[in-house]
Amino acid sequence: MERKYSDEIIPDMDGRKVKIAGWVHDRRKLGGLLFLLVRDRGGLIQVTLPKKYVSEDVFEKARTVSKESVVAIVGEVKKEERAPRGYEIIPEKIDILSKAAAPLPLDPTGKVGVTLDTRLDNRVLDLRRPNVSAIFKIRDVMLSAARNHLRSKGFIEIQTPRIISTSSEGGTELFPISYFEKEAFLAQSPQLYKQMMMATGLDRVFEIATYFRAEEHDTIWHLNEITAIDCELSFIEDENDVMDVVEELVLAIIRDIRENCSEHLEGFNIEIKEPKTPFPRITYEEALEMLDEAGLKVPFGEDLSTESEKKLGELMLEKGWSMYFVTKFPLRIKPFYTMPDRDPRFSNSFDLEFKGREMVSGSQRIHDYDLLVKMIKEKGLNPQGFKTYLEAFKYGMPPHGGFGLGVERFLMLLLGLPNIREAVLFPRDRKRLEP
């Protein structure tokens, strides 16, 4: 008999025999009735055992089975409005496939409070909690929506190396690795390879990329292994063309989640609203003026701090904008590949802010070989270390730009999660290398 998931069974199947399988989520006794709640990928299934209607063997197995044991059950669907999903299963056969040890290190029902560290130490059990697994079902929809939208806009998915010979963006925040007799690093981002692709004729590419950043942060916002939706596109006029792509992508993701994740969103007590459009585009100087008027002075030339981002988010929300671009950042705080603005103090760069936090960073890139070499030197870097990257710019490179959208941060902000580690299956941070 073919196994059914709980969300494949409907009350109209009343009287039909089905096979289900999953984990014993909970057990309850009420008078002469014994109830098992069995959990599978689709949710919870109520298995009802009236002692006088089921065999003694079946009743005894249900009475003694430990929580989180894996069971397979064959039984009859019975319409029952008071049960989860409006039906219950009256079992004729129960097989215990795997017995769970007791006591459990945490309670997957969520009835007993537990710290985030304990949850992450026991992540497999933690992921059995419906409100936790829902995060990753939503994440799956998010990535699927991104892929579908970008492909509909002519983007091709690529995969670039995770092992590199030089820094992607300059700086020292790299994880060195042993690569035979050579020095190598884990990739900070696919940035250099994305740009090189623009010289191939594949003029719109994207990647669901993994970043490795050796930054010693220990905050609720930062990780050392990050997932991002990275895009690069050619034949642009300036960074505004890239921002158009970002806005369309973010809206497509939010719409898909709103349409397809209503059940998964139930445990978050939030309403995901489609943000007002078009997203405002305020310059760095305009942002500083707004902050100054609000009593928060940010010295010109400095990046926006956490405090200033949060305050700017509050000011924009008062105007009705949850998402907005900040553009034209000072050139000196941007990576070497960022295109200078007509005013050489500034760059053709942008951040997309969501609820006062940076979610996307991008820019128009330099496509001129000589200017690129000049900027590498001005950043105190050696062009020889970027030899293969620079070669791509010698033989015809179109004007281009791109961005990276942080998957975990987007999920954290969208779902109101208290810590970015909640949005990763097995997070890697300054202190955590296991599980």
* Confidence category of residue 92, pLDDT binned at 50, 70, 90: very high
Q: Is the pLDDT of residue 171 over 60?
A: no
> Is residue 303 helix, strand or coil?
coil
Note the Cα 176 to chain centre separation in Å.
26
Report pLDDT for 218: 87
Strand ranges inside 300-397, DSSP E:
323-327, 349-354, 357-364
On whether the CB atoms of residues 162 and 186 are closer than 8 A, the answer is: yes
Q: Which of 92, 108, 112, 111 is nearest to 44 (CA)?
A: 108
Mean pLDDT of the residues in the chain = 94
Report pLDDT for 172: 58
H or E stretch covering 63? helix 56-64
In angstroms, the CA 420 to CA 428 distance is: 11
Report pLDDT for 64: 93
Q: Is the pLDDT of residue 30 over 90?
A: no
H or E stretch covering 110? none
Mean pLDDT, range 93-106, rounded to an integer? 95
Backbone φ/ψ region at 162: left (φ over 0), alpha (ψ -120 to 50), beta: alpha
Question: Which DSSP symbol is given to 84?
Answer: G
User: What sign does the dihedral 410-411-413-418 (CA atoms) show?
Assistant: negative
Taking each helix axis from N to C end, the angle separating 239-260 and 130-152, rounded to the nearest 10 degrees, works out to 130
Report pLDDT for 169: 64
Report pLDDT for 170: 58
Report pLDDT for 25: 94
Peptide bond into 103 cis (omega under 30): yes
Q: What pTM value is reported for the model?
A: 0.92
Q: Which domains does the chain have, with CATH numbers?
A: 6-98 (2.40.50.140), 130-423 (3.30.930.10)
Residues linked to residue 40 through DSSP beta bridges, in sequence order: 43
Report pLDDT for 51: 85
Stretch among 201-205, 213-217, 418-422 having the lowest mean pLDDT: 213-217
Residue partners of 314: CB distance under 8 A and separation at least 6: 356
Give the tens place of pLDDT for each residue, 230-285: 999 999 999 999 999 999 999 999 999 999 999 899 888 888 999 999 999 999 99
Report pLDDT for 52: 84
Question: Which DSSP symbol is given to 122?
Answer: T
User: What sign does the dihedral 153-154-155-156 (CA atoms) show?
Assistant: positive
> Is residue 183 helix, strand or coil?
strand
Stretch among 27-31, 196-200, 222-226 having the lowest mean pLDDT: 27-31
The arrangement of strands across the sheet holding 357-364 comes to 156-157, 204-212, 225-234, 400-406, 357-364, 349-354, 323-327, 281-283
Give the tens place of pLDDT for each residue, 112-121: 889 999 999 9
Residues linked to residue 111 through DSSP beta bridges, in sequence order: none
Give the tens place of pLDDT for each residue, 33-87: 899 999 999 889 999 999 888 999 999 999 999 999 999 999 999 998 888 889 9
In angstroms, the CA 323 to CA 352 distance is: 7
- Taking residue 56's Cβ as centre, other Cβ atoms within 10 Å add up to 8
Q: Which of 336, 358, 367, 347 is nearest to 412 (CA)?
A: 358
Stretch among 16-30, 53-67, 160-174 having the lowest mean pLDDT: 160-174
Mean pLDDT, range 388-406, rounded to an integer? 97
H or E stretch covering 95? strand 87-98
Tokens for 229? Answer: 């939706």
Report pLDDT for 252: 98
Mean pLDDT, range 294-319, rounded to an integer? 95
Mean pLDDT, range 320-347, rounded to an integer? 97
Give the tens place of pLDDT for each residue, 102-113: 999 999 888 888
Q: Where are the alpha helices (DSSP H) in 161-238?
A: 191-197
